C-alpha cells in the first residue's frame, strides 16, 4: 500500500514476491489471536503517524513491526512445515 502510494513500481514488485512467498507462514501466525491483535495495533499506529506526517515515528513503527513479524514468522515456521509435509 505504501509502495503503491509512493508510485514505486520496483518496490511494489519486490514486496508482491515476498508476500507471495510468506503468505502461508503469515496466515499461521495470524491464527494466534494475540498476534492478530498486535498486528492490527501496529498497522494502525503506523497509519496514524503517516497521517500526522511524522515520518520518523512512522519509520520507527514500521521497523519494529517488521522485526517482530520476522521473528514470529521464524517461530511458526516449524508448524507451517509440519502442516505442509505431514500426513
Reading the block at residue 17, the C-alpha cell is 514476491
- What are the residue ranges spanned by the domains of the chain? 2-85
Average pLDDT over residues 31-59: 93
DSSP annotation string for 29-59? HHTSHHHHHHHHHHHHHHHHHHHHT-HHHHH
**What's the confidence (pLDDT) of residue 40?**
93
Give the contacts of 72 (CB within 8 A, at least 6 positions apart): 29, 35
Residue 85, pLDDT > 70, answer: yes
**What's the confidence (pLDDT) of residue 87?**
63
For 24-36, what is each residue's pLDDT tens digit? 888 888 888 998 9
Amino acid at each position: 500500500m505504501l509502495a503503491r502510494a509512493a508510485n514505486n513500481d520496483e518496490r511494489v514488485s519486490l514486496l508482491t514476491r515476498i508476500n507471495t512467498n510468506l503468505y502461508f507462514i503469515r496466515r499461521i501466525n495470524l491464527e494466534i489471536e494475540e498476534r492478530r491483535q498486535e498486528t492490527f495495533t501496529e498497522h494502525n499506529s503506523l497509519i496514524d503517524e503517516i497521517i500526522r506526517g511524522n515520518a520518523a515515528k512512522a519509520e520507527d513503527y514500521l521497523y519494529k513491526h517488521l522485526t517482530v513479524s520476522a521473528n514470529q514468522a521464524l517461530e511458526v515456521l516449524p508448524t507451517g512445515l509440519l502442516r505442509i509435509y505431514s500426513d
